[in-house]
């Protein structure tokens, strides 16, 4: 048994070593680390069976030492070695992941060795129980519980990255006669073979799960296109269809498959799985070996996404996109100081589509750049006309850039051309980029942003607080403004935590010379608290919904807060 002792006291470390030596059968290889940082380096480079951890280290104190060790080696048990005879602390240590809590100087070498060995066995038992709770007993594939956990985790990543995710729900066709004719042992062998074939088809990042009987589900995060998902479904069909040789018998099975896609078919695990199940049922109706995308209705001959995919190229050529504008107000005098432009697609068959229904697919098809150019030109022209006729300071125009659009090498020349064609002043243009888009390629992004900033264009970080950047990292970029995500604003008056987060963002942003806009303001008490906290601008339904240009009448653009709020 190889033990890592993390202890900063020479005397205590010597005592542990002597205790282990006095037990002839202990057969313990002891490695000593003085600090937590040194211990973490050893854990990354060597294999250990158990960690014997002191809670009073030079670089970390108390139970805070447990989490870094668990993160580095989640499968290795931890035994706490403490000089404090404290039952509460001992209980908290175990609740935080330690296998045992031992007092320094108590007991002998046999007791210490036994505690270490028991900790290893308890950890193995915990892992075995956890595995059984999350895996199918026959195929050892993830079960429904683990599938849902992984699906929720993948959805969180796909939301941040603005990427597609697919769920394939599969049911074997006419499998009951296999069990009835040849017996359940042969049926089990057939299921094992199907599981093996499915595993051979997927990437390391994918998940194949058995969720019951002859039903399997495949989770495909970060897919490139709808066509790729269709090709993958065909690959699964071809993998399953060859006959299996089981007990001297040739057994053939096929499968019906239903496919749902994030973000079109749903935004949470339960909905996506339900949609894939519904699509599988429709595939069953068509006969064996069919794979259908979720269409929303059994009477709808073609899924919506295929309508969208076929119509996107035509939409730019035939001018089917329209722009809506949402006002932003100055928290000082409550006048409208700017507008954010939001693109909509007036689809000839599906009606008015919001960005979540077509932007992800436009990115995968390579259509986001021409759509972005169209939005920028038309928004600059429209707001330029308003600024030429309304009294007072010009409106600041905010335009969102997707990470794909921003990463395009022509983004700066595209902006220059739009400003030149429309004679819109760069001083009143603000480009919004999400945290994920900002951090995707920091060096290239920083250079592009500086080029745009040198033109006099403002740069804002949209949905701040939901990504993985920090205000400290933002110092590397020429940022002018932050937009606090609506998820923090929503509960700002009822959640002390959200209120503290918003106040901290505003204070630190002002310290860096950044302007702060709060998104999603819908109530007067939210407005009041944000004003008290020093927020510069606000945007949300309280001040106006996104509306078509003709609805954003001149009286609204000139008004004081009393009119806006009514």
pLDDT in tens, 406-444: 655 578 888 999 999 999 999 999 999 887 677 666 777
Q: Is the pLDDT of residue 134 over 70?
A: yes
Give the pLDDT of residue 218: 97
Residue 559 has pLDDT above 60, yes or no: no
Predicted pLDDT of residue 4: 92
pLDDT at 561: 41
The pLDDT of 37-49, averaged and rounded, is: 91
Q: Print burial letters for 186-222: b (CB count within 10 Å at least 16), e (below 16).
A: bbebbbbbbbebbeeebeeebbbbbbeebbbbbbbbe
CB atoms under 10 Å from CB of 344, counted, come to 18
* Mean pLDDT confidence for 196-203: 93
Cβ count near 237 (within 10 Å): 18
Q: State the span(s) of the chain assigned CATH 3.20.20.450.
A: 321-564
Chain-centroid distance of CA 14 in Å reads 47
What is the third-level CATH fold of 2-134? Rossmann fold (3.40.50)
Parts of the chain belonging to CATH 3.30.70.270:
144-301
Domain over 144-301 is classified CATH 3.30.70.270 = yes
How confident is the model at residue 290, as a pLDDT? 82
Lowest mean pLDDT among 108-117, 151-160, 500-509: 108-117
pLDDT digits (tens, 9 = 90+) for 480-511: 999 998 888 988 998 888 898 899 889 988 98
Residues of the chain with CATH 3.40.50.2300: 2-134
Q: How confident is the model at residue 560 (pLDDT cuts 50, 70, 90)?
A: very low
- pLDDT of residue 562 exceeding 90, the answer is no
Instruction: Give the tens place of pLDDT for each residue, 216-242.
Output: 999 999 988 888 888 899 899 989 988
* pLDDT on residue 556: 53
How far apart are alpha carbons 487 and 132 in whole angstroms?
37
Domain 321-564 maps to which CATH number in 3.20.20.450, 3.20.20.70, 3.40.50.300, 1.10.3720.10? Answer: 3.20.20.450
């Amino acid at each position: 048994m190889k033990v890592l002792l993390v202890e900063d006291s020479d005397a205590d470390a010597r005592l542990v070593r002597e205790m282990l030596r006095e037990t002839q059968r202990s057969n313990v290889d002891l490695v000593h680390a003085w600090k937590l940082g040194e211990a973490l380096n050893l854990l990354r480079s060597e294999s250990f069976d158990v960690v014997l951890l002191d809670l009073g280290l030079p670089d970390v104190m108390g139970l805070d030492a447990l989490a870094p060790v668990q993160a580095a080696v989640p499968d290795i048990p931890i035994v706490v070695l403490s000089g404090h005879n404290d039952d509460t602390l001992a209980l908290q240590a175990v609740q935080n992941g330690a296998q045992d809590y031992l007092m320094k100087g108590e007991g002998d070498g046999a007791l210490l060795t036994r505690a270490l060995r028991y900790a290893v066995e308890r950890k193995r038992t915990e892992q075995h129980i956890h595995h059984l709770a999350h895996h199918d007993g026959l195929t050892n594939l993830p079960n429904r519980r683990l599938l849902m956990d992984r699906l929720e985790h993948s959805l969180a990543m796909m939301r941040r990255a603005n990427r597609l995710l697919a769920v394939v729900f599969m049911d074997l066709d006419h499998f009951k006669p296999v069990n009835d004719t040849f017996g359940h042992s042969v049926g089990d062998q057939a299921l094992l073979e199907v599981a093996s074939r499915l595993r051979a088809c997927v990437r390391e990042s994918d998940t194949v799960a058995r969720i019951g009987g002859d039903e399997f589900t495949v989770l495909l995060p970060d897919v490139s296109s709808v066509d790729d998902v269709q090709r993958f479904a065909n690959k699964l069909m071809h993998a399953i269809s060859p006959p299996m040789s089981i007990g001297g018998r040739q057994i053939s099975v096929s499968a019906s498959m239903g496919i749902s896609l994030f973000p079109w078919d749903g935004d949470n695990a339960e909905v996506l799985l339900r949609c894939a199940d519904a699509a599988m049922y429709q595939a069953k109706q068509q006969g064996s070996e069919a794979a259908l995308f979720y269409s929303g209705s059994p009477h709808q001959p073609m899924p919506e996404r295929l309508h969208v995919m076929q119509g996107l190229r035509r939409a730019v050529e035939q001018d089917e996109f329209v722009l809506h504008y949402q006002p932003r107000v100055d928290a000082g005098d409550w006048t409208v100081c700017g507008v954010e432009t939001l693109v909509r697609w007036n689809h000839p068959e599906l009606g008015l589509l919001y960005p979540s229904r077509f932007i992800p697919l436009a990115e995968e098809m390579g259509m986001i750049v021409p759509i972005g150019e169209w939005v920028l030109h038309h928004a600059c022209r429209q707001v330029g006309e308003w600024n030429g006729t309304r009294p007072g300071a010009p409106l600041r125009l905010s335009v969102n850039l997707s990470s794909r659009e921003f990463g395009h090498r022509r983004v700066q020349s595209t902006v220059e051309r739009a400003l030149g064609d429309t004679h819109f002043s760069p001083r009143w243009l603000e480009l919004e980029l999400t945290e994920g888009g900002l951090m995707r390629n920091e060096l290239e992004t920083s250079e592009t942003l500086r080029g745009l900033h040198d033109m006099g264009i403002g740069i804002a970080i949209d949905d701040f607080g939901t990504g993985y950047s920090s205000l400290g990292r933002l110092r590397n970029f020429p940022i002018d403004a932050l937009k606090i995500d609506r998820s923090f604003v929503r509960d700002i008056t009822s959640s002390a935590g959200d209120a503290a987060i918003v106040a901290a963002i505003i204070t630190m942003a002002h310290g860096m010379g950044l302007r702060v806009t709060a998104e999603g303001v819908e109530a007067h008490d939210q407005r009041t608290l944000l004003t008290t906290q020093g927020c510069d601008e606000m945007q949300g339904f309280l001040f106006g919904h996104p509306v078509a240009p003709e609805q954003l009448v001149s009286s609204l653009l000139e008004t004081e807060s009393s009119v806006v709020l009514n």
